[in-house]
Amino acid sequence: MPMVCLTDYEDYAREHLPKATWDYYAAGADECCTRDDNLLAYKRIRLRPRMLRNVSVTDTRTTILGSEVSCPVGIAPTAFHCLAWPEGELSTARASEAMKICYITSTYSTCSVEEIAAAAPNGLRWFQLYVYRNRKLSEQLIQRVEKLGFKALVLTVDVPYPGKRREDIRNNFKLPPHLKVKNLDSSFEESNSPEEYGVPVQTLDPSISWKDIHWLQSVTHLPIVIKGILTKEDAELAVEHGVQGIIVSNHGGRQLDGAPATIDALSEIVDTVQGRIEVYLDGGIRTGCDVLKALALGAKCVFIGRPVVWGLSYKGEEGVRDILQILNDEFRLSMALSGCRDVTEVNSSLIQMSRL
């Protein structure tokens, strides 16, 4: 059977990954209302396609923080890719380089940032950062990724504590002993803090506040993108604190259950930001039409999380390239069928008014 859409890869991963691994990737917090709403919210939006607009040539390219990408879809940071495929993040990096899109590498990668940069030296990479109680640990990581040519820091702000994911607790899910969070490896050995998934999460600093943005700016010259914003109030604060971008995200529904679907939170943020910084979105993107809707509502680019690990579990680099190609092809077709020749023509007039 040919694989034709992202959910075919989801079905494959569900059937072939060990149950505890599948559960870890699929997990949402508590009752999974937010995780599920991320997807359902797209299905409630209807479009206003325009006709007779000569869509014989279409162009899906755009830019993010000044870098050109082939398509407004990038890879969101997700942990532990080696659970899905032996070469893990190396395969993800190679696929994103080949597809000319942005790969946000997770702090909790099972390959080191040095290995990832070497695997795909010409790929566009941003680095996702958590702030640790030990600020020196974060600073050392920042220096490493700056040297390796990562182009932005993505600060995840929605994990002062990890959300409660029921299946992981039932499965007592842990990273198997042959895998390591390599970016933090040496610091782990020195650390005695309690672990989650074999990772000492207690070192994450729950006291992190807006003041820390100034600290971060003082230790890096890279642009800063804040990941996990869901309200216009926080979007305004992000702009006032001088960051370069926001990712509207609820962590794939893994943190606060009851947070809004990201596509439902997007409009108030875009209205507040008024183009002063770039606004991106992740959560629930499964089709090219979802990408079109997010762009029409003001996202500059979207990022995908779980579909990447489904692609990895299918065929490593080739599987990730497949899912990126499918999304790109579907997005191009949705653009053309709604009368848009390029991403500059995708705007809020495409969305049915009852929604705005």
Ligand X SMILES: Cc1cc2nc3c(=O)[nH]c(=O)nc-3n(C[C@H](O)[C@H](O)[C@H](O)COP(=O)(O)O)c2cc1C
Q: Hey, which residues are catalytic here?
A: 251
For ligand X, which residue has the nearest CB?
A: 305
Please identify, using beta-carbon distances, which residue of 156 and 220 lies nearer to ligand X: 156
Binding region for ligand X (CB under 6 A) out of 193-201, 211-219, 251-259, 335-343: 251-259
Tokens standing for 304?
Answer: 């995908």
Query: Nearer to ligand X by C-beta: 55 or 300?
Result: 300
- CA neighbor of 116 nearest in space, from 84, 142, 81, 83: 81
Of residues 62, 128, 203, 334, which one binds ligand X by CB under 6 A? 128
306 is a site residue for ligand X (CB under 6 A)? yes
Which residue do the tokens 């969101």 mark? Answer: 76
- Residue 38 or residue 313: which is nearer to ligand X going by CB? 38
Q: In whole angstroms, how large is the CA radius of gyration of the chain?
A: 19
Query: Any contact of residue 311 with ligand X (CB under 6 A)?
Result: no
For residue 192, the 8-state DSSP code is -
- Please tell me the distance from the alpha carbon of residue 130 to that of residue 82, in angstroms, as a whole number: 20
By CB under 6 A, tell whether 77 contacts ligand X.
yes
φ/ψ bin of 283: left (φ > 0), alpha (ψ from -120 to 50), beta (otherwise): left
Q: Which is nearer to ligand X, 38 or 328 (CB)?
A: 38
Structure tokens at 276: 């002063």
Q: Give CA separation, 196 vs 46, 172, 174, 175, in Å.
A: 41, 9, 7, 9
Q: According to CB under 6 A, which one of 62, 78, 92, 338 is a site residue for ligand X? A: 78
Task: Name the minimum Å distance from CB 209 to ligand X.
Answer: 18
The span from the CA of 15 to the CA of 28, in Å, is 19
Give how many residues touch ligand X by CB under 6 A.
22
Interface residue with ligand X, options 123, 283, 298, 319 (CB under 6 A): 283
Stretch that binds ligand X, among 7-15, 160-168, 188-196, 249-257 (CB under 6 A): 249-257
